[in-house]
Chains A and B, each alone.
Chain A
Amino acid sequence: MAEKSARKSNDVLLHDHNHDGIDRRGFLKCMAWAGTGAFCVIQGGVLNSYSLSKLAEVGSMETRGELSFVQISDSHMGFDKAANPDVVSTLKAAIDKINALPQPPAFILHTGDITHLSKPAEFDTAEQLLKSASAKDVFYVPGEHDVLNDEGKQYLDRFGKGSKGAGWYSFENKGVHFIGLVNVMNLKAGGLGNLGQEQLEWLEKDLKHLSKSTPVVVFAHIPLWSVYPEWGWGTDDSAQALSYLKRFGSVTVLNGHIHQTMQKVEGNITFHTAASTAFPQPKPGSAPSPGPMKVPEEQLRSLLGVTDVNYVRGHHALAVTDSSLG
């Protein structure tokens, strides 16, 4: 049931402009597996997709490149409602998945909603658990649940070292330029996610010195593409940010927030949202609200997950792999 409806939502989202010659039928086929454990590679504009039954198989494929890293998202430490009364054990399961990868990833990206209520103990739990991951470096961006009541002060105290403004920053690894953006602050009534003028100016400057052949990975909590504005699943000023990225050959945008995997290719930019490690949310418009989705217990882990990303030099886009926890 869940797989069938996930397919439907991806079909809808793929009716977007594609000008890069990617085989659409192949792309759709690949997408049909996303969220239940799919492996997709887009190399030089040609798509290959493989069924992912065992993570070990990934290692044997010719996809290990110069750099591999993992994205996790929406851990919601402190959440204890029916949709998942034990978010600690599912975060642990996600870390087990990471530790089972044939090669340890260079680092972990956490795309926000680390905590449910911004409580110090919730942050502590997440940090403590992630210490057992094979990758020691974790790069965070905040979700709206991490900046409650204090305008993000606690988040910045913990994770903001070396960052600018509300916590945005960039770094390089193996020739790939990574940019962590914050789009959960100063939200306006009736609006969506928000980057703000100061951050946009910083972004423009940050990208200016890069050659257009530099692969760029942008990560932020709320999607930087319009997934479903009716539920707030988009960012008001993302078009401005994306305009600075148009000249690059390879751009990958990684987000969380919507607690399900989705992918879209638009020109040079591949958009990808990761599953939550805590609880699933309904497909766009399929429920009265985007609140936590209660599924039968035996189904829960199949809807939670970890995203593995591989960069192979010279290829059109990074390979993005979603694997479920169950």
Chain B
Amino acid sequence: MIIKQLSVFLENKTGRLTELTGILADNDINISAFSIADTADYGILRMIVGRPELAAEVLKKNGFTVKITDVVGMIIPHRPGGLHKALQIISDNNVAIDYMYAFASGDCKATVVIRAESLDKIIDVLQGHKMELLKKGDVYQV
């Protein structure tokens, strides 16, 4: 249930992100989701990609600062109240979340990527409430 997310330190310099997406494209790596947490000087790019280990390797080789982080993907219905219900469960169970971001796919569902201190706990809680979780096979390229 744990998904590997790629985190990249990016200086706010013109073309730096394009350089990165170019490298992933050249290596035939698909990006399923991404978000950027930015400050005045730098950003932290977080991505779910098809082949995280390979992506990390090629990016490092090209001088990027990369880290693989464990996250959980929670699948929710793409309709009003869907996200609220999921978050209610998490907060009722006192699970602290570091950050999250979401992406919707075409099939009336949305996926919320969650990073939390205790991923095992969040998996337990969500599964206990019959919430659907993203599986490796859903995003990883084979």
- The reply to whether chain A is a binding partner of chain B is no
Q: Which residues of B contact A (CB under 8 A)?
A: none
Q: Which residues of A contact B (CB under 8 A)?
A: none
